[in-house]
Amino acid sequence: MKKHILFVLLFIVNISLLCAQDLVQSGPMVGYSTMREVLLWTQTTKAAEVHFEYYEKGNAKQRFKTKKYTTEANTGFVAKLIADKVLPGKNYVYELFVNGKKIQRDYAMEFESQKLWKWRTDPPEVSFAIGSCNYVNEERFDRNGKPYGSDFDIFTSIHKKNPNFMLWLGDNTYLREPDWGSRTGLLHRYTHTRSLQELQPLLASTHNYAIWDDHDYGPDNSNSSFPLKETSSEIFKLFWGNPNYDIINKGGITGSFTWADLEFFLLDNRYYRTANNNYTTERQILGKTQIDWLINALATSDAPFKFVVIGGQVVSSEAMYENHATFPKERNYLIEKIREAKIEGVVFLDGDRHHTVLSRMQESNSVYPLYDLTCSSLTAGANNNKEPLNVYKIDDTIVGEHNFGILNVKGPRKERELTISIFNKDGKELWSKKINEKDLKYN
């Protein structure tokens, strides 16, 4: 009789645990990291109470908890909670609880707090991944023919590189025709893409930051006239974990963050954009307000490398597709202001083009070269465009297959070195370039 009761109790417990597992739609994901707090994210399949518990690696006896939060349908059953008991320079293990039950995963769930180094040591080594254009197939809503998305094991390859964080360069999900006309459609597409099985281990232990481009904002080539742009901004903020958004108070997703001695300036190339074919008004991609904020922020920064992150190419001279060269007045204003303010260390990071290329522009010997690294595509259809009209391209950096980048910065203060490495879907290195801090200074 006792054995029978024990069996029934174990059965009930196992069923309860399985039910809790089934309540997780996607995640967990780690978002931004600072020295004193880290963002933790997850999504449930229906309303559920969620919290996280975490402890410093190797010290499981001292545990901390986030607040509890009940997910809701009107916010996509998303939970964003703050681990606010962290200390600088520590590695933590965390656990997800849904309705009081611990969720089991067969991969690591860890995060790190940023190091306290200034005035104490040289800045730490930093490694981060970049990529853009992630298409996850869904046959009932996709166009007929060959699936547009493939090679999803690329996320396993990125995960194996063990970067500190990943920076998503736009088109991180692809809205389809049934999606961009409603809030329901936007939520569905973000949920479907985020639920990709191959993506989960990377999300769980690599910090994530993101910008958008047209496909995760609205229709192809969409601009400021998109009627659901406020809703699109809301959904983007729900599903990503940047430390700030809309810091120019104009709507959109403009923001910034710091990692070690590096600074990242996350620009919005959609919310304020003039239609590509509209020549009846002052044409803009970023808008003067956003550019002037950027110049002021860059001028404030003492980072050896200042990464300006935007959905489309800036340096390329190809005045076609959606490159900034098709908006020459604004492009010239942006570059001239960087030069006029004597801002050093600027590197552009972008996606969009479905191939990878490094561009280098140097107008004269009195200025340092502006580099523009385009990294695309992760899983969406790739092309082998050679950019024949881009006079600034470095020929041996063009990649026409699915790929991602790992950027590594190391070395003592004032002698930092940036190494850019591009890898194929299997993690095989395709090319690598080094840029020294001193190479991005004025004479």
Pairwise CA distance, residues 52 & 217, whole Å: 30
Q: How many CB atoms lie within 10 A of CB 326?
A: 16
Nearest one of 30, 28, 38 to 86, comparing CA atoms? 38
Q: Is the pLDDT of residue 15 over 90?
A: no
- 126-440: in CATH 3.40.309.10: no
Q: pLDDT value at position 4?
A: 53
8 Å CB contact between 213 and 351: yes
Q: In this model, does residue 223 exceed pLDDT 60?
A: yes
Instruction: Note if the bond before 28 is cis, omega within 30 degrees.
Output: yes
The residue-averaged pLDDT of 278-295 equals: 97
Q: Which residues make up the CATH 2.60.40.380 domain(s) of the chain?
A: 25-112
pLDDT of residue 443: 81
Give, in words, the CATH class of 25-112. mainly beta
- Say whether pLDDT at 353 is over 90: yes
pLDDT tens column, 361-394: 999 999 999 999 999 999 999 999 999 999 999 9
CATH code 3.60.21.70 region(s) in the chain? 126-440
Note whether 52 and 67 are within 8 A (CB).
no
Contact criterion met (CB below 8 Å) for 282 and 290: no
Q: Single out the residue of 260, 176, 245 nearest to residue 209, CA to CA.
A: 245
Residue 382 CA to residue 385 CA, distance in Å, equals 9
Residue whose entry in the numeric block shows the structure tokens 């349908």: 73
Cis amide leading into 150 (omega within 30): no
pTM of the model: 0.95
**Are 320 and 356 in contact, with CB atoms under 8 Å apart?**
no
Instruction: Identify the pLDDT of residue 2.
Output: 54
